[in-house]
Structure 1
Amino acid sequence: MANLVNLESVSKSYGERMLLDGVSLGVGEGERIGVVGLNGGGKTTLLEVLAGISEPDSGRVSHARGLRLGVVTQRTELPEGSTVGGVVLADYAAEHEWASNTRVRSIVEGLGISAIGFDTPTDTLSGGERRRVALAATLVADLDLVVLDEPTNHLDVEGVRWLADHLLSRKTALVVVTHDRWFLDTVCERTWEVVSDPVNTASGGRVEQYEGGYADWVFARAERARLAAAAEEKRRNLARKELAWLQRGARARTSKPRYRVEAAEALIADVPEPRNPAELLAFAKRRLGKTVLELEDVSLTAGERTLLDHVTWRIGPGDRIGIVGVNGSGKTTLLRLLAGEVEPSTGKRIEGKTVRLAHLKQELDDLPGDLRVLEAVEKVASRVMVGKHELSASQLAERLGFARTRQWTPVEDLSGGERRRLQLVRLLMSEPNVLLLDEPTNDLDIDTLQQLEDLLDSWAGTLVVVSHDRYLVERVCDSVVALFGDGRITHLPGGIDEYLATRAERARRHREVRAERPPREATPTQKLSAAEWRAATKELAKLERKLDAVHERESRLHRQLAEAATDPDRLMELNGELKAVLAEKDELERRWLEISEALE
């Protein structure tokens, strides 16, 4: 198998921080490689050096002759003044050229490009929409190698599964940085770990190679840890707990060599279950009593959309619930309703008297920029009880990735991932007994995710999580509910697998209903000549496509209105856009009715 890209003794540093140190790697034809490591440890730098975006300080990077390479990093920019269709379908001169291509149609639908709208200016898109447009523009091309940096960010559970299926169906080689462990396990055949030293930044920069995806990497890393020195004891214990989860859960793999399975089984022989549900539930009831959060006959709207329609939902002590649904289905708004930050249209929200609620939002606007990391944590509390253990502010910060030396960094100098971790530390230091987490995995590396899950394992309280990371939901939650857009909260005993199956069945029924509609008369009527009839049917089809696009734009604006509920200026701007869209929709529907009547 010929290599598409070779790195030979490549080194790269920024200031005193060594990110890559004498790294030699190769990417072969059709290989699918996942890249893992700590935030700020050099993963993005490795991708940019490999793709030729950034030059190494020393060493050599060589690409195969005529290599067709597609790259989407977190720094990818869209052309100024462009439209969504102009970026994604730049290589297609006419609509019929891409519409007849099954792969391109799948990408356009799978990544929600149609919902964004082909005529939408890219300058008006949100960060998540821009990432999806850049990803779609890359995937529509015929490529030998795709390099992706955090492609699952801003995708819902269904979108992540679509992307995994799409990449598996192509023969294209892949190098991907992602913290989504389900995605790593499903797609990748090899794993590269960028090893960094957060304490001594001048060391590190190695890249360790492993066969297999996330589960194989955990097995192999735990096996190395079993033989490592005492300095690695903390990491080994965490890896053992992660192994216990993998081995006992539905994710356990059977494709590993027998010697590795036996070694892992010996390693986890005395490891208890990740958490004791009975013990945590008893403790939660003592802390919370019988009533925690309840919604009684609640209706909730966002613009003209109905998110909840006379729903009654009771969340009890010790419940650990995951909420899933497509982007825009109202998950974040539901969390805000539970937190008491928005009022229902009808019905009432009930909160128990002993509830101490903490809400992790996606925004990072509640951090004191004038303090250092440890000062920002100690401003909340100096000590906290996590399960049966008392931790100091410094110890909890260290468990979530802030080394002792890093704890004196000014908050304003932190990266996005570090600010997210600090937000989590401050949240846990407040000792809540009800946690509402909105996309807690955003910007967190895998090691930090393991530490967070380890903390949540021993946390006694009520937990409600919105996340596209199905691994996290399956690991820390005991039940799953879904928002399907029908105004209800649907309990799913089968978890995320049942959610995906239900979504697929609903889509199948929708296609069948559309297929069963009686076809239009295929001959000219007495009212129209043959030429007029052909022109009318062509215009009707064009109007239907425009109506679909307008409907998607209307849905997107409703979602944005819900998100901008606390920003009056943005609300006025979005309301103006919505009025224009509704006026356009009325005109299109009026014209559609005219032509339909003429064809009858």
Structure 2
Amino acid sequence: MAHLLGADRVTLALGTRVLLDGVSLGLDDGQRVGVVGPNGAGKSTLLRVLAGVQGPDDGRVTRAGGVRLAMLDQRDDLGSGTVLDAIHGTADAHEWASDPRIRAVHAGLLPDVDVTADVSTLSGGQRRRVALAALLVRDDEVLVLDEPTNHLDVEGVAWLAAHLNQRFSRGPGALVVVTHDRWFLDAVCTRTWEVHDGAVDQYEGGYAAYVLARAERARTAAVTEEKRQNLLRKELAWLRRGAPARTSKPKFRIDAANALIADEPPPRDPLELSRMATARLGKDVLDVEGVTVALGGRTLLDDVTWRLGPGDRYGVVGVNGAGKTTLLRLLSGRLAPDAGRVKRGKTVQVAELRQDVEDLDEVADLRVVEVVEAEKRSVVVGGKELTAAQLVERLGFTRDRARTPVKDLSGGERRRLSLLRLLVGEPNVLLLDEPTNDLDTDTLAALEDLLDGWPGTLIVVSHDRYLLERVCDRQVALLGDGHLRDLPGGVEEYLELRRVALEGAASSSGTPAAGTDATTTGSPSAADVRAARKEVARIERRLAKIADLESALHARMAEQATDHEAVQRLDAELRTLAAEREELEEAWLEVADVAG
């Protein structure tokens, strides 16, 4: 296995704080490394040092000769020009449009982005996806990605995982990625680096293996941090009881895992939580009855009926713009429906965590623990009474950070504090809109542990698949057609529904009317677009087949290099395929303009 990149006794300090202290590590061909650690521990700094963007104070970074490296930073500097300029530079369309891998990147990351638009007009999420696309269309051996899943929905994250797995399992190269998306870490990574206290600990396997290894190390070393161990064991128990796709992977020793969690109860007691929720809420909670909501000329919810009972825990997934946040606004009472009604139980107390944290501006000069104490000095969680200070500590604020003014908090810390303010108010209905934004993996585990003992009705909108499966008992989806669909099969069922819907749209019937020409009659009709998309799909399938045939012919030519007649025959087949490929590429460029 070829060595590609390495750090030798690297040290780097930021002010008086040492982020990397004599760190040595290596990256070999074929490795896919996930980087985890607390916010501010130095994960992004490690990536910049490895990529050569930032030099270390001491030590050195080595790179094998000729190895090409590309880095996705958290800052999306796209320059000026159109989206196509940002992705492909000055290359002509025919230079990249014939490559199925590049077309797949466009389809996976830019389905709703106008590639002819100026980058200055893009939203933050669109800029992020364009920056990622610009990196993935290249042929670099080493990819260094800092939070690539930011602004991607569930489908986008699943596509990116599949793309990276295919790219690095079949071809040479290696991947280093910082992300807080634990499902992504488990789906993609074969190794984990944990950055903490100036050091980098290395683990085999993805997130599940990393959790087990940490728990085993803690037990072997007889660590006294009982709360930390219990939390790790609890999360590991859920991982082992979770979806078959996760637990069947041979990423860690099953016997060791079973021994470690033999006496560990399930993360939640649904019957007890339901009993407590019913006592606090009664039988009636929230009933959405025949609700219709239209915004901006679009019908987001169309005659939707949804009944929420005491202790229900729902995850909400859906395409961007389908109305997930609108649904939360309805449930919270901040939005009135155009038709239908939302009926609330008499004892319902709703608390909503929004995507922004502007509510903290009013307490910017208070310290963290003071903000929580102002709401309530103690709260009961999981049958235990916790003081404000204990609750703050439980959600990841150290004693020093608990005394920090709110105005000096990071984005992740502000999000944690907003959630704490909601919880100490002891609501019985909790609405969370993208609660994982800016939170590291340890804080996410602590948040999930806190929600495990929370007796009430919980609705979570999130692109974090791991969180949805971890804290929610059921999932529902908004597919963009105005309807709310139950998902007995969870997120996997949602992804399958989306795949079928997209394939149906691409292959739906519809032939241009006789005598019409999309190039001369102005904007193409819906039927023209459907027909063009169907033709694009057919051409792309054939181009992929030709690429496979060409690879096979090249391999046969190498095997029969001494057989002159065989080589000539194979070369003739190659020329025939090349001619067909050129014709198909020209046809693809023509119909792609119509397909959009």
- 1:98 match: 96
Shift of 1:487: 1.3
Is 1:6 matched up with 2:16?
Answer: no
Query: Offset at 1:55?
Result: 1.1
Is residue 467 of structure 2 the alignment partner of residue 445 of structure 1? no
Distance in 2 separating the partners of 1:176 and 1:120: 29
Q: Quick one: distance in 1 between partners of 2:313 and 2:407?
A: 34
Q: Which residue of 1 aligns with 2:165?
A: 168
Match of 2:206 in 1: 213
Task: Determine whether 1:381 maps to 2:376.
Answer: yes
Q: In the alignment, what sits opposite 1:222?
A: 215
**1:289 paired residue number:** 282
Q: Aligned pair count?
A: 521
Aligned to 1:21: 21
Residues of 2 paired with 1:315 and 1:91: CA distance? 54
CA distance in 2, matches of 1:400, 1:370: 21
Q: Distance in 2 between matches of 1:432 and 1:13?
A: 43
* 8 A contact 2:518–2:524 mirrored in 1: no
Instruction: Give the match for residue 118 of structure 2.
Output: 121
Residue in 2 that maps onto 1:108: 106
> What SS does the corresponding residue of 2:176 show, helix, strand or coil?
strand
Whole-Å Cα distance in 2 between the matches of residues 164 and 153 of structure 1? Answer: 13
| Greater displacement, 37-46 / 225-234 | 225-234
Q: How far did residue 114 of structure 1 move?
A: 4.3
Partner of 1:339 in structure 2? 332
Structure 1 position 220, deviation (Å): 0.8
Equivalent of residue 328 in structure 1, options 315, 321, 326: 321
Q: How does 1:314-325 map to 2 (within 5 A)?
A: 314-325=307-318
2:184 aligned residue: 183
**TM-score, normalising length from structure 1?**
0.84
**Contact 1:155/1:327 (CA < 8 Å) preserved in 2?**
no
Structure 1: where are the runs of 5+ without partners?
A: 196-203, 526-532, 549-595
**Corresponding residue of 1:131:** 128
Residues 430-480 of structure 1: CA deviation (Å, up to 9, x unaligned): 111110001111111010011111111111000000011111111111111
Distance 1:256 1:153, change over 3 A: closer
Using the aligned pairs only, state the percent identity: 59
Q: 1:315-363: CA deviations, max 9, x gaps?
A: 1110000000011111111111111111111111111111111101110
Q: CA offset at residue 540 of structure 1?
A: 5.7
Task: Give the aligned partner of residue 194 of structure 1.
Answer: 195
Match of 2:230 in 1: 237
Q: Provide the C-alpha distance between the structure 2 equivalents of 1:288 and 1:99, rounded to a whole number of angstroms.
A: 58
Q: Summarize the alignment of residues 440-519 of structure 1 with structure 2, pairs less than 5 Å apart.
A: 440-513=435-508, 516-518=509-511
Any conservation in 1 of the 2:5–2:26 contact (CA below 8 Å)?
yes
Letter in 1 for 2:71: V
1:405 equivalent to 2:393? Answer no
- Superposition deviation, residue 54 in structure 1: 1.1
Structure 2 SS opposite 1:341? coil
Q: In 2, Cα distance between the equivalents of 1:88 and 1:541?
A: 28
Q: Quick one: distance in 1 between partners of 2:518 and 2:457? A: 57
Q: CA deviation at 1:537?
A: 5.1
Q: Which amino acid aligns with 2:181?
A: D
Residue in 2 that maps onto 1:151: 148
Which region of structure 1 is more displaced relative to structure 2, 158-167 or 119-128?
Answer: 119-128
> Equivalences for 1:552-563 in 2 at 5 Å?
none
Shift of 1:543: 5.2
Helix, strand or coil at the partner of 2:300? strand
Q: Distance in 2 between matches of 1:425 and 1:387?
A: 15
**SS of residue matched to 2:466:** helix
Partners of 1:83 and 1:33 in 2: how far apart? 33
Q: CA deviation at 1:178?
A: 0.7
Once the two structures are superposed, residues 400-447 of structure 1 have per-residue CA deviations (whole angstroms, 9 ceiling, x without a partner) of: 110011111111111111111111111211111110001111111010
State the Cα deviation string for residues 552-572 of structure 1 (Å, max 9, x = none). xxxxxxxxxxxxxxxxxxxxx
Structure-2 residue corresponding to 1:556: none
Distance in 2, Cα, partners of 1:135 & 1:254: 28
Q: Which moved more, 1:84-93 or 1:309-318?
A: 84-93
Offset of residue 29 of structure 1: 1.8
AA aligned opposite 2:472: C
* Aligned counterparts, 1:527-546, within 5 A: 538-539=519-520
Shift of 1:118: 1.5
* Alpha carbons of structure 1 residues 541 and 107: separation in structure 2 relative to 1, 3 Å: farther
Preserved contact between residue 322 and residue 482 of structure 2 (Cα < 8 Å): no
Opposite residue 12 of structure 2, the aligned amino acid is K
**Contact 1:225–1:235 (8 Å) recurs in 2:** no
Q: Contact between 1:321 and 1:479, CA under 8 Å: does it hold in 2?
A: yes
Give the letter aligned to residue 348 of structure 1.
R
